[in-house]
Structure 1
Amino acid sequence: MSQQNTIQAYAAKAAHEPLVPYSFDAGELANSQVEVEVEYCGLCHSDISILNNDWGVSSYPVVAGHEVIGKVVRLGSDAKGLKLGQRVGIGWTAESCGACDPCIGGEQVLCHDQKGTIVGREGGFANKVRADWQWVIPLPDDLSPESAGPLLCGGVTVFTPMLQNNITALHHVGVVGIGGLGHMALKLLKAWGCEITAFSSSLDKTDELKAMGADHVVNSRDPEALKAQQGKFDLILSTVNVTLDWSSYINALAPKGTIHLVGIPLEPIQVPAPLLVTGVKSIRGSITGSPATLRQLLKFAARKNIAPQIELFPMSKVNDALAHLESGKARYRVVLKADF
């Protein structure tokens, strides 16, 4: 095993098993790749899904982790725009083909042949990780490396709908579910200048949500409270994976308003067509974001001093960190600090 190509990591050997120390030979660095020495890596529910093979795409042993912050330690011969020692980030996607229409059009996140950082390859629960140079995103100097990782997946997931729906400071935006994704949405929308309503089932967090940027907080489990929102919202961003009272949320939209899904409900969405047609309303969804969008997000976060709220664990305590995330007690993102 080549010492230069050896990577130390924490891996799951099977679904629902604790992670254990794991070393592997990553092979020769490809010409298009960059190798990054991991300093921090955020935890995401998608990591749990891959570790447990919830989506049926996992191949064991699995090394998860796709919200990586670290420093460039090796550059392939074709890598461009980066330098050794530079601090960078890697998110959900590690590679795209560069030749299909979406790639040529700057929408690499829609590439038919994109490869996830943790799908069929080893991610950031490790001392080093690799990705194609286009997906290695320079980190602005004004962003804290400790807390920036979650912006690369969760952050861009809620930032992309703001761009796709042409949101401006004139708009009123609702955010459903104030967890790892939702709390970043509040911070970004506040810096964007929007009027913001947080829909939450935990009204005991009202003061905290307002401190993050919410102008209003509505009990998402109160039908009368939802009814009172009729016609208010240009955009409702749903970050949850549960079935909602879709008719009530559609009624809460202003004319030409949109419900935008970044959480994935487990059941089909049942919607009376007249509610969409009569108000020219829509339901859409999106995934993460292109390299250009990731760069825009990090620059905006640096300029507006936006940082996810995190809890820090040493990477050697990764199983404790995963249990904390699965318990639903994380406030609001968990980040691992590499301590190999």
Structure 2
Amino acid sequence: MKVIAYAARTAGGALQPYEYESGPLGPNEVDVRVTHGGICHTDLAAIDDEWGLARFPAVAGHEVVGEVVAIGAAVDEVALTIGQRVGVGALAGSCFRCESCISGRTNLCPRRDALVLRGDRGGFAHHVRASDWRHVYPIPDSMPSEHAAPLMCAGTTVFSPLIANRVLPTHRVAVVGIGGLGHLALQFLDKWGCEVTAISTTEDKQADAERFGATSFIASREPGALRAAAGSFDFVLSTVSGDLPWDDYLGILSPQGRLCVAGVPDRPISVSALGLVSEAKEIVGGIVGTVAQTRQMLDFAARHAIRPEVEMFALTDFEQALDRVRKGNVRYRAVVDFT
């Protein structure tokens, strides 16, 4: 099948139409006709080669929703059918043979198929191929496609830490950063039953944060604001990509509290060892969910009417959408209509 995609041919370059032949369909593979695609900061990292891992021409995109158009011979036809509306996310496959996969931790598979780092086979295209059907997710009927797309990465990235870190409804939780990830985290935690505090640099997003479910708000640049919250939270989820005063954020944790870093800071994280050791606090990483967690996330979001707030863009406005995401001007997720 001939695939029409949109590729950056050099680091930071504008997207240009790019065609390739997808080749024969493997036994576990699934082809999806893309109708909607979310734009994530990770896509920009691939296009701009921020991490030195990009392969050019680079077709980014890993928040895909569309329709199944072909399935491999080994695909469970009860699980997926031609014409079914599905999502493909940050991980489009894993080996299902390694220790991580066998124990259900498919997101830690050393051979996982990271869609955004494939090179010229990513999701900014009219068709995308998942390497394993188990990583292709039926979309609940009640969920519009433009809302489902950002959940395939942003949604599962902030939902899976709740399970992995055993967050309870009785916990006091803070979300750092009210952006593409943070506005979804607030909604999930609110419906989870937690007491939720939003932390942002200024008060500009306070009204939005409260609309998304926050019961309290901290403007972190206000003098003494973080010190006043010392020892307040069982769990803190950082969704920002910038650097933070990490010792201050350790300070707002209660004893044995946990700071989960889901955003990727620009520089190494540096903290005082005493701040960790004295009250047995922890810093952990947050990543996209397992196959099971992503399915749970979609079910939970559908049940509680959790929706990302999106700005829609036509294909002709692709560069404008990327530019707005680069500048942090989108509230709160950008979605491209590929139809």
Alignment TM class, shorter chain as reference = over 0.9
Q: Which residue of 1 aligns with 2:4?
A: 8
After the TM superposition, which residues 159-178 of structure 1 pair with which residues of structure 2 at under 5 Å, given as runs?
A: 159-178=159-178
**Aligned match for 1:101, one of 86, 99, 103:** 99
After the TM superposition, which residues 48-59 of structure 1 pair with which residues of structure 2 at under 5 Å, given as runs?
A: 48-59=44-55
Equivalents in 2 of 1:319, 1:221: separation in Å?
Answer: 33
Q: TM-score, normalised by structure 1?
A: 0.96
Q: Which residue of 2 aligns with 1:261?
A: 261
4+ long deviations beyond 4 Å = none
Contact 2:160–2:294 (Cα < 8 Å) also in 1: no
Report deviation, 1:286. Answer: 2.2
Equivalents in 2 of 1:336, 1:160: separation in Å?
Answer: 25
- One-letter identity of the residue aligned with 1:65: G
Q: Which residue of 1 aligns with 2:89?
A: 91
Equivalents in 1 of 2:274, 2:116: separation in Å?
Answer: 42
- One-letter identity of the residue aligned with 2:123: G
Q: Which residue of 1 aligns with 2:123?
A: 124
Report deviation, 1:287. Answer: 1.4
**Aligned match for 1:78, one of 67, 74, 78:** 74
Q: Deviations over 1:235-286 (max 9, x none)?
A: 0111112222222211211111101101122222222222222212111112
Give ranges in structure 1 of 5+ residues lacking alignment.
none
Q: Which residue of 2 aligns with 1:252?
A: 252
Q: Which residue of 2 aligns with 1:66?
A: 62
- How large is the Cα RMSD of the aligned pairs? 1.2
Q: Which residue of 2 aligns with 1:328?
A: 328
After the TM superposition, which residues 193-212 of structure 1 pair with which residues of structure 2 at under 5 Å, given as runs?
A: 193-212=193-212
Aligned-partner SS, 1:283: strand
Aligned-partner SS, 1:184: helix
Aligned-partner SS, 2:181: helix
Contact 1:246–1:269 (Cα < 8 Å) also in 2: yes
Report deviation, 1:69. Answer: 0.5
Worse-superposed segment, 80-89 or 53-62: 53-62
After the TM superposition, which residues 141-180 of structure 1 pair with which residues of structure 2 at under 5 Å, given as runs?
A: 141-180=141-180
Equivalents in 2 of 1:17, 1:270: separation in Å?
Answer: 33
Q: Which residue of 1 aligns with 2:187?
A: 187
Q: Which residue of 1 aligns with 2:287?
A: 287
Equivalents in 2 of 1:218, 1:225: separation in Å?
Answer: 7
After the TM superposition, which residues 230-241 of structure 1 pair with which residues of structure 2 at under 5 Å, given as runs?
A: 230-241=230-241
Equivalents in 2 of 1:166, 1:77: separation in Å?
Answer: 38
Equivalents in 1 of 2:181, 2:38: separation in Å?
Answer: 13
Report deviation, 1:123. Answer: 1.7
Q: Deviations over 1:187-215 (max 9, x none)?
A: 11111111111110130221111011111
Contact 1:256–1:281 (Cα < 8 Å) also in 2: yes
Report deviation, 1:163. Answer: 0.7
**Aligned match for 1:110, one of 102, 108, 114:** 108
Report deviation, 1:223. Answer: 4.0
Aligned-partner SS, 1:147: helix
Equivalents in 2 of 1:276, 1:192: separation in Å?
Answer: 27
Q: Which residue of 1 aligns with 2:29?
A: 33
Equivalents in 1 of 2:336, 2:55: separation in Å?
Answer: 23
Contact 2:233–2:253 (Cα < 8 Å) also in 1: yes
**Paired residue total:** 335
Contact 1:43–1:335 (Cα < 8 Å) also in 2: yes
Aligned-partner SS, 1:95: coil
Aligned-partner SS, 1:237: strand
Question: Identity percentage over the alignment?
Answer: 44
Contact 1:36–1:128 (Cα < 8 Å) also in 2: yes
Q: Which residue of 2 aligns with 1:301?
A: 301
Aligned-partner SS, 1:115: coil
Report deviation, 1:134. Answer: 1.2
Equivalents in 2 of 1:264, 1:10: separation in Å?
Answer: 25
- One-letter identity of the residue aligned with 1:262: A
- One-letter identity of the residue aligned with 2:187: K
Q: Which residue of 1 aligns with 2:20?
A: 24
Report deviation, 1:94. Answer: 1.2
Aligned-partner SS, 2:224: helix
Worse-superposed segment, 192-201 or 214-223: 214-223
Report deviation, 1:288. Answer: 0.7
Contact 1:125–1:315 (Cα < 8 Å) also in 2: no
Equivalents in 2 of 1:106, 1:204: separation in Å?
Answer: 41
Report deviation, 1:43. Answer: 0.3
Aligned-partner SS, 2:137: strand
Worse-superposed segment, 268-277 or 48-57: 268-277
Aligned-partner SS, 2:250: helix
